[in-house]
A and B are shown apart, each in its own frame.
Chain A
Amino acid sequence: MSNVVATAIPQDPSVVPSSVSQGKSLWSDAWKRLKKNRAAFVSLYFIVFVCLVAVLAPWIAPYSFETQNIDRALMSPDGVNWLGTDSLGRDMFSRIIYGARMSMSVGVFTAIFSLLFGGAYGALAGWLGGWVDSSLMRIIDILYAIPSLVLLILVGVIFNSLNLFENPELKALTGIFMALSVVGWVSLARLVRGQVLQVREMLYVEGARALGASGWRIVGRHIFPNILGPIIVMLTFQIPSNILFESFLSFIGLGLQPPYSSWGVLANDGWRAKSYPHLILFPGMALFFTMLAFNLLGDGLRDAFDPKMKNR
């Protein structure tokens, strides 16, 4: 604590740090703390690896995700099919790699979309306050009272029956995307509103206002950078929960369907095949390690950004 006070009252006016370098030091501080957290850092590497696999899937996968080979159906792992084959003889290893592509992109893009929408909504509520805030928050309260999976199912069904696209993959993806976004934005809106409410009363915001900064400038230069930490943490937790929700939708038949591949589709196939452990074990492991990595990274980021952890 004494450390902070000492830097806040510099003796020599020439060493007053500019606002830019101070802003940087908060981030490099967090980075330094994150680096010390080995679990979080390994997780970060693992997530980057999964992302690379997802992007490079067509070049890495030994087979296509839909090529069937009935002669080799339901094979256990061997030299030809490293992780075995499913009931139509499709290569499990390739399907998991393509599944990473689908699961990761759904997880990441819906999280980003939820952030953009929910963040704008929450920031508006928090910044304007008053009756705008209370009416916007009422809507959130209502959405919060619906169990998220019920909401997910309802929205999924609606977009499945709208028939916006001929292509079944595109149709399923829009359904998944909309359902996940509808469920996901609520918690982000709540978080951003709470953070904005907290930060807008800070002295530096008042100072900026006294200096005649416009509303946009205050939001962009002063509020946004200061609430970014909790948002990143929340986003890190949102991505695995979206991956899980996508799997859930595919699992109950509202998401992607075979021959397309996502980890949820594979888990569903594996569950239906009953007593072939490799069919559920490998997609399950892919899901588990990815979820674990995001959770560990999220924990690490939270500790790194939390001011209470500072100098500890």
Chain B
Amino acid sequence: MIGMVLGWGLVALGLIGIILDLGGEFLLGGIPPEFWWVFALWGLSAAGFAVVRGQMFVFVMKRLLEAGFVIFVIATLTFLLLRFLPGGPFDAEKALPPDIKANIEAKYGLNKPIAEQYLSYLGSLARGDLGESYKYIGRPVANIISETLPISFQLGIYSLLLAFFIGIPLGVFAASKHNSLLDNGLMIFAISGVALPSFIVGPLLVMVFSFGVPFSAMQGLLPPALWESPIYYILPVLTLGLRPAAIIARMTRSSMLDVIQADFVRTAKAKGVAEQVVLYKHVLKNSLIPVLTISGPLVAGVLSGSFIIEIVFGIPGMGKHLVQSVSNRDYPLILGMTLVFSAMLVIANLIVDLLYTVVDPRIKLG
């Protein structure tokens, strides 16, 4: 009972937040950021409840410890890789005078031995301090991340939501009309969606809907770049969501076709349950587990995919900054972004693992 309230409450809060966020510009002038704190707290208590009730405390602790270790190793590896690169962050095309360069390097501690740099880096990391950017002088990396992460997060969440809302119904339709023209058509769409690179789809969509290339009537219909209000979201979200939508549609279809052959479906049909009820209540519910299984890799894919989308559409998110910081040799920024990206991936995988036990009580994690 408590679990139901917590779970559905979380979903409701999230949907309200998204609706207000999308419509906020027109209705209320945006939603207060405190709303998302409430949402996060609610989510945490729901997760805590699930962990306690499912007796997964040990498992979660183990996984969190492992995640901490993985992130520590990634921090170390990235640090070492960057430090052993030839050429420092301040070797611009225009060479700096030697004393100025020495001064700058002393300011950021780059003249100290590597071991000392590493230790001080780990120390500040443990305090949650990611250092200052070299390129944006004086700006803490945490500051840059807290400014760009929400944008990437929005992009990713909307794309995933779109993928699920398009992918699952398409998969269900295809499976319910197995081997029909509709089924074949949908599967051609799904396979094509997997094979279409986003850096082709994005520019083509921009060409059609913003520049009006074949049909000049569509010129200026949607903005080609930036991330300012919901109308700006449409093209990037569509581009990023297409591939996961296609993958989900295929997965849903094949998993439904598997479940349709199960004994309990035959039983349900035999006792006279209506075809539609069998399909949606018995088959769909049980087919969603494999769909959930792939959502871990999907989250990773959306995370990576956001890089290209952010470059193509000029969205000031994390991916765009990461690519830029890499060419600028902005060490603290690269390190900070890599860590945040990895942490997001690790956490997403943990959440997916926990969701298994919620969706399928037969699965026991240990």
> Do B323 and A153 touch across chains, with their CB atoms under 8 A apart?
yes
Known A153-B326, A271-B312, A275-B207: A147·B341 in contact at CB below 8 Å: yes
Q: Which residues of A contact B307 (CB under 8 A)?
A: 149, 248, 252
Known A247-B199, A281-B204, A292-B192: A148·B304 in contact at CB below 8 Å: yes
- CB closest residue in chain B, given A290: B195
Q: Which of A142, A252, A267, A288 contacts B311 (CB 8 A)?
A: A252
> Do B213 and A158 touch across chains, with their CB atoms under 8 A apart?
no
Interface residue ranges of B215-266 to A (CB < 8 Å): none
> Do B308 and A147 touch across chains, with their CB atoms under 8 A apart?
no
A274 to B313, CA, bound (A): 12
> Do B342 and A147 touch across chains, with their CB atoms under 8 A apart?
yes
> Do A291 and B195 touch across chains, with their CB atoms under 8 A apart?
yes
- CB closest residue in chain A, given B211: A275
> Do A253 and B327 touch across chains, with their CB atoms under 8 A apart?
yes
Q: Mark B174-218, 1 if CB is under 8 A from A, else 0.
A: 000000000000000001101111011011100100010110000
- CB closest residue in chain B, given A277: B213
In this assembly, does A284 line the interface, its C-beta being within 8 Å of a C-beta of chain B? yes
A274 to B194, CA, bound (A): 24
Main secondary structure of the interface of B (DSSP, over half): helix
> How distant is A161 from chain B, measured CB to nearest CB, in Å?
5
> Do A147 and B303 touch across chains, with their CB atoms under 8 A apart?
yes
In this assembly, does B4 line the interface, its C-beta being within 8 Å of a C-beta of chain A? no
> Do A288 and B211 touch across chains, with their CB atoms under 8 A apart?
no
> How distant is B226 from chain A, measured CB to nearest CB, in Å?
15
Q: Which of B86, B194, B197 contacts A161 (CB 8 A)?
A: B86
Interface residue ranges of B79-117 to A (CB < 8 Å): 81, 85-87
- CB closest residue in chain B, given A151: B338
A277 to B212, CA, bound (A): 11
Q: Which of A252, A253, A274, A287 contacts B200 (CB 8 A)?
A: A287
- CB closest residue in chain A, given B299: A147
Known A142-B74, A161-B85: A267·B300 in contact at CB below 8 Å: no
> Do A240 and B341 touch across chains, with their CB atoms under 8 A apart?
no
Q: Which of B195, B197, B300 contacts A148 (CB 8 A)?
A: B300
> How distant is B291 from chain A, measured CB to nearest CB, in Å?
18
Q: Mark A139-153, 1 if CB is under 8 A from B, else 0.
A: 001100111111001
In this assembly, does A170 line the interface, its C-beta being within 8 Å of a C-beta of chain B? no
In this assembly, does A162 line the interface, its C-beta being within 8 Å of a C-beta of chain B? yes
Q: Which residues of A contact B341 (CB under 8 A)?
A: 146-147, 150
Q: Which residues of B contact A252 (CB under 8 A)?
A: 307-308, 311, 323
Q: Mark B311-323, 1 if CB is under 8 A from A, else 0.
A: 1100000000011
Q: Which of A147, A153, A274, A284 contacts B345 (CB 8 A)?
A: A147
In this assembly, does A137 line the interface, its C-beta being within 8 Å of a C-beta of chain B? no
Q: Which residues of A contact B327 (CB under 8 A)?
A: 157, 253
Q: Which of B70, B191, B304, B334 contacts A295 (CB 8 A)?
A: B191
Q: Which residues of B contact A244 (CB under 8 A)?
A: 197
Interface centre among A244, A252, A264, A283 (most CB of B within 10 A): A252
Q: Which residues of A contact B358 (CB under 8 A)?
A: none
Q: Which residues of B contact A275 (CB under 8 A)?
A: 207, 211, 213
In this assembly, does A22 line the interface, its C-beta being within 8 Å of a C-beta of chain B? no
Interface centre among B87, B197, B322, B323 (most CB of A within 10 A): B197
> How distant is A238 from chain B, measured CB to nearest CB, in Å?
14
Q: Which residues of A contact B204 (CB under 8 A)?
A: 277, 280-281, 284
> How distant is B224 from chain A, measured CB to nearest CB, in Å?
9
- CB closest residue in chain B, given A272: B203
In this assembly, does A270 line the interface, its C-beta being within 8 Å of a C-beta of chain B? yes
> Do B70 and A145 touch across chains, with their CB atoms under 8 A apart?
yes
> Do B70 and A271 touch across chains, with their CB atoms under 8 A apart?
no
> Do A154 and B338 touch across chains, with their CB atoms under 8 A apart?
yes
> Do B326 and A280 touch across chains, with their CB atoms under 8 A apart?
no
> Do A146 and B342 touch across chains, with their CB atoms under 8 A apart?
yes
Q: Which residues of B contact A264 (CB under 8 A)?
A: 199
> Do B195 and A292 touch across chains, with their CB atoms under 8 A apart?
yes
> How distant is A83 from chain B, measured CB to nearest CB, in Å?
15
A311 to B211, CA, bound (A): 53
> Do B203 and A251 touch across chains, with their CB atoms under 8 A apart?
no
In this assembly, does A163 line the interface, its C-beta being within 8 Å of a C-beta of chain B? yes
A137 to B81, CA, bound (A): 21
In this assembly, does A92 line the interface, its C-beta being within 8 Å of a C-beta of chain B? no
Interface residue ranges of B102-146 to A (CB < 8 Å): none
A-B contacts, 9 of them at CB < 8 A, read: A147-B304, A147-B342, A150-B322, A154-B338, A157-B85, A161-B87, A267-B199, A267-B200, A296-B191
A residues in contact (CB < 8 Å) with B: 141-142, 145-150, 153-154, 157-158, 161-163, 240, 244, 247-248, 251-253, 264, 267-268, 270-271, 274-275, 277, 280-281, 283-284, 287-288, 291-292, 295-296, 299
B residues in contact (CB < 8 Å) with A: 66-67, 70-71, 73-74, 77-78, 81, 85-87, 191-192, 194-197, 199-200, 202-204, 207, 211, 213-214, 300, 303-304, 307-308, 311-312, 322-323, 326-327, 334, 337-338, 341-342, 345-346
Known pairs A145-B345, A271-B203, A288-B197; list 17 more (Cβ under 8 Å).
Answer: A145-B74, A147-B300, A147-B304, A147-B341, A147-B345, A150-B304, A150-B342, A157-B326, A161-B85, A163-B86, A248-B307, A252-B323, A267-B203, A274-B207, A275-B207, A283-B200, A292-B191
